[in-house]
Amino acid sequence: MMHTALPDNIFTQAERLIFARKKLGCCNAWEFYQKYGQNGRAFSYAKYQKQENGERSLSEKEAVAYGKILRIDWQWLLCGHQNESESGENVVLEVIDAIACCGDGHCNFKTHVIGQHLMSVQAFREITTARPELIKILKVVGDSMEPTINNGDFVWVDISCQSPVGDGIYLFSIGEKLVVKRVQINPLDNSVRILSDNPKYLPITAEDYRLVQVLGRVISFTKMLG
């Protein structure tokens, strides 16, 4: 199925659903349900209405189903950008010099690109739905995250994440170094622990996770770049 260019300035799933529904010629959610919510492709009107109102987010499965009905790219519905695989393109990711990147105490991902990693869009989409330019690959130096991430492993970092959004592994800038640490948030008081998986390193605590600045979230890691 061929897709025409879709706007990249519609920032919420609800707005994209409304755009696609109107593009299909349906004036409101009820008309859309009456025409397309039955006849073998049934979906819940109550659930869809909440999604159009921004009260409920789309799952990938729902985005795929709606995309078929709305005749529109499901990845655009889900996260605002089109499926590059339609054009048969590959994805190029930047490999960053993690040491030079913060040599002056200020992180600059743009001026310390030391290589590129080429992969198919399909393989990339199995890892993330983020835009390729927001994913940076860095080589880990040190043993603080062993045995999960070893010295010399490569981490894939989503730099659109600038504060912790939940428990996970994040990239931090400490002085002139980039470090990878695990974050654990206490939902009862919003306090946070910044941990190394290697038990010989002591944890760091903060009163509020929202005050913790990160450079990105680690979404994957690998021992070598092909």
End position of a domain, from candidates 82, 111, 126: 82
CATH of the domain at 17: 1.10.260.40
Q: What's the residue count for the chain? A: 226
* Of the residues 48, 82, 116, the one at which a domain ends: 82
Residue 215: which CATH number? 2.10.109.10
Token look-up 């002085």 returns: 175
| C-alpha dihedral sign at 22, 28, 29, 35 | negative
Task: Give the tens place of pLDDT for each residue, 83-134.
Answer: 544 445 778 888 887 653 333 444 555 546 777 787 888 888 888 888 888 8
Query: pTM for this one?
Result: 0.57
Last residue of a domain, one of 57, 82, 107: 82
Same domain? For 31 and 65 the reply is: yes
Above pLDDT 90, what percent of the chain?
Answer: 13
In a domain, 3, yes or no: no
Rounded CA-CA distance 222/73 in Å is: 30
